Each structure stands twice: as C-alpha cells, then as structure tokens.
Amino acid sequence: FDCTYFQIGSGKVDQTYTLELENNISIGAGLVIHKLKCLSQGGPVWEAILTSRGAGIAGSRHAACVVCEDSTLSVFSAGGQRLLPPVVLSSPATRLTCSDQYVMVLTSRGCVSVWNIQELKTLVKNESLLPIMQAPAGTDLSIRSTGLTEHGAPVVSLSTRKSYIFNFDVGAWLLISSADDAVYQCSDHQSCLPPDVKLQETLLPLASLQGELNRPTRVARNIFNSNPVTRRAATLSHLDSQLAAALSMHSAKDYKFWFLTLVRYLTQEGLEPRLRELCSELLGPVVQTTRQSSWKSYTMGLSKRELLREILPVMGSNLKLQRLVTEFKEQLDVILT
C-alpha cells in the first residue's frame, strides 16, 4: 500500500499531529477501502474511511485535507469530523496546500481554487492559470512556487521571474513582481530604502517574493545619468507599483516599507507637489463638515495620521521642504488637541 506522511500543526503549541494515508485496504467480499489517519506521537487520534484512493494530503491547525483519485477534496476538522461532503474538483488535483483556515487546490488542467474552511466558503472559484502562463516562444515556462497570503489569496511565481496574485475583488490575476522588466531594473530608489532593510526582508511577504531588495542599481544610474527626468519617472513608477502590489496583497508591512521608501525618494528629489498631495491624504479633513467624508483614517490597520507624524522628520532632512513640514505639523497638532 501507498503511504504518505505530512506534518500538521495543532491548536496547542506543545503537540504535533501527523496525517497519514493508507490506501487499498482489502476488507473482503471484493471491497477495498482507504484510510486517512491522524496520529500523535505515533498513536492514532482519529481515522476516516475514504471510498476513493487518496492522492495527496495537507493539514493546518484548522483542517486536515485529502484529495482523492476520483477528483474530490475531503476536509476534516482537527478533531476528525467531516466538514463537507466530498467536493468535486474540475479535474484531478496536482497540488494541495493548507494554510491556517485556507485550503488551496491546483488541478491538472491548471485551475486554482481556494476555500475558507471556517466559513465553508469559496474565495477563489476554479480560476484558470492560463492567462498568466504566457511567455515568448522558446522560453522555459513553469510554475516555480505557489502560496497563499495570510488573507487566503493565491500567489503564483513562474520560471519567468514573474509573480502573480489572484485578487478576489478585482476578479483577476495581478502582476505583482517582474524581476526582468526594465522599470524594475532601472529604478533608482536604492539609497532611499529604510535603514533597517536587511532585518526586514525575511518578514515582508512581497519582499521575500521578490527577494532582491539589495540588488545593485549601477545599471540604473549609468543608464539614466543623461536623462534625470526619465530616471525619476521610472523610479516613481516602480515605487508606485510596489505600493500597489503591497495593497493588493493586503500586506501592511510591505506597504509601510515602500511608502517610507517613496517618501525618502520624494524628499531626496525635492518633489514638493507629490509630497503635499501625499501628506494631505494622510492628514484627512481638518475641519469636520456636516457632509459625510469618504476619507478613511486607516489603511490596512495603519493609522494615516500616525504615518504622517512619522514621515514629517524624514521630509525635514531636505531644507527646501521645511515650510511644508511646518505646515502639516501645525495642522496635525490642531487636530490632535
């Protein structure tokens, strides 16, 4: 019989459960069953009988999942209770991922599904990878890795060094990283990264996906020395893209990291109009009007006014921006008293 092992975490920190699959158990009369077993320290915790051969297992502290050869997915609670009848997949599963309350299945025909196990709801419903599986003829094209963000959005990295996230609201794949493209290569933001970058890289979802915060930027500098306007536009486009990518991943840490980088770059270049626009958005309405404002004081859990207070000293490093800094500092003081 086949046997696959897989480690799953448990609700309690001091315990570890193991999932195990035992296929093709003959029980006489020509009948064959298959078993999904949950073990703890070698001993059985629970077992579930399957009617189709198991093909892959995965687990988290919320769920134990198994995909079978009849193209179904079965999901059990940590205690072994079946949470759903067998879910029929659009074709056999080739990848099964379980992360917190999310389960992701990739099928043999290149479709991705994600479910929230706690709410028993689909987040991504059988979305094809075909739109992102595009490369010039002759290029090697394969999936390098797949993963889930902490909000259950699937992230796919290809051999072409491009990464995509599927965004539920937008209903499409978004290109969040493209290591080989010109804008990425030419962006001249290196000197403006926050000082504690080395430390942060491993913690930031987007950064760890791109993995290249510290790449050399000599290329960019050489190329653009003759054309500072385009260099600036390329850098701003790149930083804008990073912010948009962080937002689409709901990654507050990446967002703050690139936001601070943008502020430092705008400060270095003395781009007052963009800084003013940016500070105004963080400040929000100073005088409360009766008309309902659409301004929100938080973005992904980050207080905009806290962020404003944090960037004002950074902006102060450019003497030309002194007046702007003073102006917003005063407004901030008025609001908070």
Of residues 278-337, those binding its own copies (CB under 8 A): none
Quote the CA–CA distance of 50 and 72 in Å, as a whole number: 11
Verify binding: residue 79, its own copies, rule CB under 8 A. yes
Is residue 112 within 8 Å of 105, Cβ to Cβ?
yes
Q: Which stretch binds its own copies (CB under 8 A): 56-64, 230-238, 282-290, 322-330?
A: 230-238
Contacts 24+ apart (CB under 8 A), 24-29: 24/53, 25/1
Among 84, 203, 286, 334, binds its own copies (CB under 8 A): 84
Judged by beta carbon, residue 83 or residue 302, the one nearer its own copies is 83
Candidate list 11, 139, 150, 219; residue touching its own copies; CB under 8 A: 219
Minimal distance, residue 307 CB to its own copies, in Å: 16
User: What is the contact mask toward its own copies in residues 246 to 275, using x (rule: CB under 8 A)?
Assistant: --x---------------------------
228 lies in the site for its own copies, by CB under 8 A: no
The four Cα atoms 99, 61, 94, 47 give a dihedral, to 10 degrees, of: -170
For 183: left if phi > 0, alpha if psi spans -120 to 50, otherwise beta; the answer is: alpha
Contact criterion met (CB below 8 Å) for 260 and 189: no
136 or 301, CB closer to its own copies?
136
Stretch that binds its own copies, among 3-11, 113-121, 139-147, 302-310 (CB under 8 A): 113-121
CA angle at 202 for the pair 196 and 204, rounded to the nearest 5°:
80
Compute the Cα dihedral for 85, 91, 97, 101 and give only its sign.
negative
Amino acid at residue number 245: A
Minimum distance of its own copies from residue 229's CB (angstroms): 9
> Quick one: which of 245, 307, 308, 312 contacts its own copies (CB under 8 A)?
245
Which range binds its own copies by CB under 8 A, 7-15, 237-245, 300-308, 314-322? 237-245
Which 46-65 residues touch its own copies, going by CB under 8 A? 47-51
Sheet order of strands, 102-107 included: 93-99, 102-107, 111-116, 121-128
